[in-house]
Structure 1
Amino acid sequence: MHLDWFDAPGYWLAREILQRGIAAIYLIAFVGAARQFRALIGERGMLPVPRLVAQVPFRAAPSVFQLHYSDRFFAGVCWAGAALAAALVAGGGNVVPLWAAVLGWLVLWALYLSVVNVGQRWYSFGWESLLLEAGLLAMLLGNDDVAPPLLTLWLMRWLLFRVEFGAGLIKMRGDPCWRDLSCLEYHHETQPMPGPLSWFFHHLPKPLHRVEVAGNHVAQLVVPFALFAPQPVASVAAGIVIVTQLWLVASGNFAWLNWLTILLAFSAVDATAFSRVVTVPAPPPVPDAPVWFVAVVLAATVLTVVLSFWPVRNMLGRRQQMNASFNPFHLVNTYGAFGSIGRIRYEVILEGTDDPSPSGRTEWKEYGFKGKPGDLRRIPRQWAPYHLRLDWLMWFAAISPSYARDWFRPLAVRLLQGDTATLRLLGHNPFPDTPPRWIRARLYEYRFTTWRELRDERRWWDRTLIGDYLPAVTLGERA
């Protein structure tokens, strides 16, 4: 079916980057789910899936796990999703017929939707919806049997627009430090999971912090509109998005949020822009798109236009939600990040002891986490795009116990039991032979050290005890 308006052959390299990149994020997401689920949502997890599906109907949270759940089945779904994603990363979608490639992407989306819809608090982040939405659009890019559809590329730009513009709006409407340009005097220190360069970003001169914030406002409130401009303006806008997102990648750990945003920006980069950087061969000749594929892309476009009513209303409304899905399939969502910035960093530190009757002289040993701050002399690690779900929720728990009311005490119980799956989520277990008799949690204020403290004492962090977060508990108490 020959439709000049439908095909965008100049974006075939962009399609390769988009599809293989999104498939790589799927691969990371499925591997992360397989490695962490038993302690979080498994049959004996802190928030078990069987308990959820007994209370929530299929129509509210469609998932294959509504039909059947076992830890073995969940692991099988995750590893199957990882294998399919790996095949797409390797270019498997280009060696099968168009219909098979489309079906493969659809299966990948359905499997990860099944995980997200039973993931509860552990999967409540905006980048889960972003991956699902981007994954469906990747399906609509086709494969080497057809030219990239122009409509799909526009849908991807619309998704990128919602990510960036939504984040810009929530900042301007939220914390006043975004308006007086002072937010980044705090953010690098108080963000959920600092990275190895965050200490250095925090110690940049204050005027440069203000330049960072101002540049962020331009990148999120002005540049997104240029994504819909003719070339080469659209490619320039995409380049600005990529550069600003790489700045965020360098300064912190935000799972795959920044990497997916970078990938989506390539939907606005054509072959002419690529040719200014690398040698780009001519696009391979392809036959006209089949009628059924054109119909699927058109139907998806119409559906997106209809469903866009809710995110547009959210962005224009006075009470903008930061991240929200308006349907159980996570289609056409609204996005945003960091509408408010903490001025003080709090950390919950878990400790255990073998003492049968704790007293003021009891020696308490700290548990260490893989990503979140704890050890004062350990440099923050780089984990993104891999997502450490327990570490992230511990940051929320430190802000307010309400974020942890349904999983924190079960976490303490599993540490008292020496639960293997739970201990695998941690970076350091001070009780490798037998579990402790008592567990407690204490709340600290953390701050980055000064240049002098880092040089003389080799400490990245300093901390001050605030008080008890969870009083000492043992298995003899109800949890």
Structure 2
Amino acid sequence: MEWFTPWFSAPGYELSRLVLQRALAVVYLVAFLSAATQFRPLLGEHGLLPATAFVRRVPFRASPSLFHWRCDDRVTGACAWAGVVLSAAVVAGAADAVPLWASMVMWALLWFLYLSFVNVGQIFYSFGWESLLLEAGFLAVFLGNAETSPPVLTLWLMRWLLFRVEFGAGLIKWRGDACWRDLTCLYYHHETQPMPGPLSWFFHHLPKPLHRVEVAANHVAQLIVPFGLFFPQPVASIAAGLIIVTQLWLVLSGNFSWLNWLTIVLAFAAVDLSPLAGTPALDPAPLWFGVVVCAACLLVAVLSYWPARNLVSRTQQMNRSFNSLHLVNTYGAFGSVTRVRQEIVLEGTDEERLTPETVWHEYEFKGKPGDVRRLPRQFAPYHLRLDWQMWFAALSPAYTRGWFEPLLERLLVNDRATLRLLRTNPFPQQPPTHVRALLYRYRFTTREERRRTGAWWHRTFVREYLPPVRVTGQYGGRSW
């Protein structure tokens, strides 16, 4: 084995691997917790888009998932909580306390459990960070544990993944909206992003020259810095450090689920922390493990053809998976930036007969803007799936297909599971007789408006998004 160890192992990266694996397990924990608390009302047997109907019409080979075997609320709930327990065990060090093969089995179980949710999650699991977690989780199977030195091939695959995340995001911006090229996108983005955070109002009110500096720095961080990941140390560590800093800036400015946090985690594959921990003497990697890692590397190399071709294509796509296992994907975000923020506000009334004097009461969501006096909250890395879809629904009714009408139906009967997705229910005793949807334009208040009114948002009525609907399902005499 002496000939095998020097080129296969990466001594000095043990602490980097430890940080990477434990932090990745934390992301898994958050993802499974999100599934445990949201999957049933969104995709359960009586959810907005029941996964049971999905698995009946989509074959296993097109969407591999445990739930093709059985897809009821008891099974999906048990799998979600099993994922929470297993990821918590890995965070606590269980994967380093067992033999190497058992550690790989634990990581593989996490990956396949979460793949099972993503592959039946339809529109609610269609975001790029789902595929990113699956791809990173798959590579983690081949990182080894405390028994062996980190495999250098797997660390390079992690860097290749990080490169695609950053460089792909940079290219989609440069090729997309003109405001990225004239450095003006952040005049709007902090205000119009899907779910602003508690500091987004303050970021929005930074001087415009600083906004232009932010955009320029983003181009450097995503189009130039990622190449440094493939250079010798200390250049690779410096490049990873710059990526971490820019991602922390994004964490402060908005809520993007675990996208930014997972990108930070991946950066540790390029960080040499040996000056902090030294280089412990570990046993050589078993030959069988080396063979498995080489096979995984070959698989990733073959599958990289499609995302690499996508990167150089003038018709670059973002957040695309080229296979049903979500391995070696393409990434990117905000190729275009919305200039005006619109929000759908859901209202209900308990009056039997509607008149111009009817009193309507608003439903409040946990994350998306509603009450103009409520400061946006920090939820990331936790992902509020319904809130995000409401942002898309405000952009176009096309994004509501299949789930918006069932949402209103659940509100009309005070469905407890659905109401747990919301912040407030204005009808705690009896369900409303009617609900409706209104469209508003939202903008951040100015500093003077904020001092005078105490409000973080100013909103202007645009139009009726959907007329009142009764429990019968008839929409005021109009079709959906």
TM-score above 0.5, yes or no: yes
User: Does 2:391 correspond to 1:395?
Assistant: yes
The 5 A counterparts of 1:44-443 are: 44-272=46-274, 275=275, 280-443=276-439
Aligned residues: 473
Amino acid at match of 2:327: L
Amino acid at match of 1:18: L
**Post-superposition CA distance 1:107-162 (Å, at most 9, x none):** 11000000000000000000000000101111111001100011111000000000
**8 Å CA contact retained: 2:32, 2:83:** yes
Amino acid at match of 1:221: L
The Cα of 1:216 is off from its aligned counterpart by 0.2
The Cα of 1:326 is off from its aligned counterpart by 0.3
Residue among 457, 461, 473 paired with 1:461: 457
Partner residue, 2:477: none
The Cα of 1:315 is off from its aligned counterpart by 1.0
For residues 18 and 243 of structure 1, the distance between their equivalents in structure 2, rounded to whole angstroms, comes to 16
The Cα of 1:282 is off from its aligned counterpart by 2.4
**Post-superposition CA distance 1:399-451 (Å, at most 9, x none):** 00100121101100000011000000000111111110000000000000000
For residues 268 and 40 of structure 2, the distance between their equivalents in structure 1, rounded to whole angstroms, comes to 36
For residues 343 and 271 of structure 1, the distance between their equivalents in structure 2, rounded to whole angstroms, comes to 43
**Post-superposition CA distance 1:429-479 (Å, at most 9, x none):** 111111100000000000000001111211000000000111100112358
For residues 349 and 5 of structure 1, the distance between their equivalents in structure 2, rounded to whole angstroms, comes to 59
Amino acid at match of 1:264: L
The Cα of 1:163 is off from its aligned counterpart by 0.2
Mark the runs of 5 or more structure 2 residues left unpaired by the alignment: 475-479
TM-score normalised per structure 2: 0.98
Amino acid at match of 1:306: V
Q: Which moved more, 1:256-265 or 1:134-143?
A: 134-143
Partner-residue secondary structure (3-state), 2:153: helix
Partner residue, 2:35: 33
For residues 249 and 305 of structure 2, the distance between their equivalents in structure 1, rounded to whole angstroms, comes to 32
**Post-superposition CA distance 1:232-266 (Å, at most 9, x none):** 00000001000000000000000000000001111
For residues 13 and 430 of structure 2, the distance between their equivalents in structure 1, rounded to whole angstroms, comes to 58
For residues 284 and 232 of structure 1, the distance between their equivalents in structure 2, rounded to whole angstroms, comes to 20
For residues 223 and 68 of structure 1, the distance between their equivalents in structure 2, rounded to whole angstroms, comes to 46
The runs of 4+ residues in structure 1 deviating greater than 6 Å are none
Amino acid at match of 1:262: I
For residues 273 and 314 of structure 2, the distance between their equivalents in structure 1, rounded to whole angstroms, comes to 40
For residues 382 and 25 of structure 2, the distance between their equivalents in structure 1, rounded to whole angstroms, comes to 14
Partner-residue secondary structure (3-state), 2:263: helix
Partner residue, 2:468: 472
For residues 410 and 451 of structure 2, the distance between their equivalents in structure 1, rounded to whole angstroms, comes to 39
Partner-residue secondary structure (3-state), 1:342: coil
For residues 353 and 70 of structure 1, the distance between their equivalents in structure 2, rounded to whole angstroms, comes to 33
When the two chains are superposed, the root-mean-square deviation of aligned CA atoms in Å is: 0.8
Partner-residue secondary structure (3-state), 1:387: coil
**8 Å CA contact retained: 2:15, 2:277:** no
User: Does 2:461 correspond to 1:451?
Assistant: no
For residues 281 and 222 of structure 1, the distance between their equivalents in structure 2, rounded to whole angstroms, comes to 30
For residues 443 and 473 of structure 2, the distance between their equivalents in structure 1, rounded to whole angstroms, comes to 34
For residues 416 and 280 of structure 2, the distance between their equivalents in structure 1, rounded to whole angstroms, comes to 52
**Post-superposition CA distance 1:19-61 (Å, at most 9, x none):** 0001000000001101011110000001001100110000000
For residues 35 and 196 of structure 1, the distance between their equivalents in structure 2, rounded to whole angstroms, comes to 23
Amino acid at match of 1:100: A
TM-score normalised per structure 1: 0.98
